[in-house]
Structure 1
Amino acid sequence: MANLDLLMHPVRLRIIQALLDRRPSTTTQLRARLPDIPPATMYRHIAALTTAGVLEILDERRIRGAVERTYRLRWDRTELDPTERAAMTADDHRRAFTAFTGGLLADFDRYLTRGPADPTTDGITYRQAALWLTDTELAELLTELRSAITARTRNDPGQDRTRRMISVVVIPTEN
């Protein structure tokens, strides 16, 4: 498992997000997908994620004297273990949530500025719903969502498929 400081860095979060679709990528491919990240910064953060075991090296090959590595995300290393989550302070949770929502804002801004955005056609949605749930019902709902999302993470890129990010936030509120 990774630690909070490793996962919550904005550049490392973007690298992880770029690999969420389960497609292995070289650093060159990651740089093409994340062109606003300077090369030295990209290499430094890929090294940190690899050292921590969040990224796995699938292949190495020599290209003009340099070694090109192909990386894959290790899903089992992208979440904090239950003990570390339980030990998080309120400030740790605030920092993690800020990084998460900051990433969402940055993703949405990149979407809006990359070209003619058409949120309706592109299926953009952001909604909230208030549900009255027992702890058991919440656990069932989260299992259903996880199952529905996981079933689709194995979809390969295709002619009619668009890569979409799905984010889920659950927060209890006052009655």
Structure 2
Amino acid sequence: MATADLLLHPVRLRVVQALLGDRTLTTGNLHAELPDVPVATLYRHVGVLADAGVLEVVGERRVRGSTERTYRLVTAAASVGPDEAAGMTPEEHRRAFGTFVAALLADFDRWADAAGPDGLDPARDGVGYRMTGLWLDDEEFSGLLDDVRAVLRARLDNTPRAGRRRRLVGTVFLPGG
């Protein structure tokens, strides 16, 4: 199975997203985060990702006669590389982008649905979305990408601690018409 086909299945993409941020989770933890996914389906997709090397087992323990595994995302294996992306057809890119956007919408819906008695507060929760138009030549755009990567890279090694919460950052770059 190609990397894009492997990663762009809606359930597998959600599993990958749940493990972003160097998290380690059991299948039970994953089910608690993805309660709408039937347990058997979740186990099957976790197995597919583990067999493909996208997830690695970082711990095992016996629980009521079975083995409970703890998984971590293998970040390098959890993305579509530039060569594969270049070989995708326009229809494959549409499907991939649609899956990405659907996952983004689902994450937004989960945030909106979890609003407490005080209601939604994007500023408090650090939620934002906007589109900006920039006039950049190819060299300036390449510099922008380098800057964005550097800003994110500087924070990728942050670990959980009091006061920190996991934040999902999604990027989309499109040429304007």
TM range (shorter): over 0.9
SS across alignment from 2:109: helix
Question: Which residue does the alignment assign to 1:125?
Answer: 128
- Looking at structure 1, the residues matched to 81 and 175 of structure 2 have their Cα atoms a distance apart, in angstroms, of 22
Question: Which residue does the alignment assign to 1:109?
Answer: 109
SS across alignment from 2:124: coil
SS across alignment from 2:16: helix
Letter of the structure 1 residue corresponding to residue 50 of structure 2 = T
SS across alignment from 1:57: strand
Letter of the structure 1 residue corresponding to residue 52 of structure 2 = A
- Looking at structure 2, the residues matched to 127 and 52 of structure 1 have their Cα atoms a distance apart, in angstroms, of 35
Report whether the alignment pairs 1:5 with 2:12. no
Q: Which moved more, 1:108-117 or 1:86-95?
A: 108-117
- Looking at structure 2, the residues matched to 62 and 122 of structure 1 have their Cα atoms a distance apart, in angstroms, of 38
SS across alignment from 1:120: helix
Q: Which moved more, 1:138-147 or 1:92-101?
A: 138-147
Q: How many residues align?
A: 174
Question: Which residue does the alignment assign to 1:74?
Answer: 74
Cα drift, residue 115 of structure 1: 2.6
- Looking at structure 2, the residues matched to 67 and 138 of structure 1 have their Cα atoms a distance apart, in angstroms, of 49
Q: Which moved more, 1:58-67 or 1:42-51?
A: 58-67
Percent identical pairs in the alignment equals 50
- Looking at structure 2, the residues matched to 73 and 125 of structure 1 have their Cα atoms a distance apart, in angstroms, of 26
- Looking at structure 1, the residues matched to 33 and 158 of structure 2 have their Cα atoms a distance apart, in angstroms, of 19
Please give the TM-score of this superposition, normalised by the length of structure 2.
Answer: 0.92
Cα drift, residue 60 of structure 1: 2.0
Question: Which residue does the alignment assign to 1:88?
Answer: 88
Letter of the structure 2 residue corresponding to residue 3 of structure 1 = T
- Looking at structure 2, the residues matched to 124 and 44 of structure 1 have their Cα atoms a distance apart, in angstroms, of 32
In structure 2, runs of 5+ residues without a counterpart are none
Tell me the alpha carbon deviations over residues 107-142 of structure 1, each in whole angstroms, 9 at most, x when there is no partner: 111111113221122121111111111212212211
- Looking at structure 2, the residues matched to 67 and 77 of structure 1 have their Cα atoms a distance apart, in angstroms, of 25
- Looking at structure 2, the residues matched to 16 and 2 of structure 1 have their Cα atoms a distance apart, in angstroms, of 16
Letter of the structure 2 residue corresponding to residue 134 of structure 1 = D
Preserved CA contact (<8 Å) 1:2 1:54 = no
In structure 1, runs of 5+ residues without a counterpart are none
Letter of the structure 2 residue corresponding to residue 156 of structure 1 = T
Cα drift, residue 2 of structure 1: 5.5
User: RMSD in angstroms over aligned alpha carbons?
Assistant: 1.5
Letter of the structure 1 residue corresponding to residue 106 of structure 2 = A
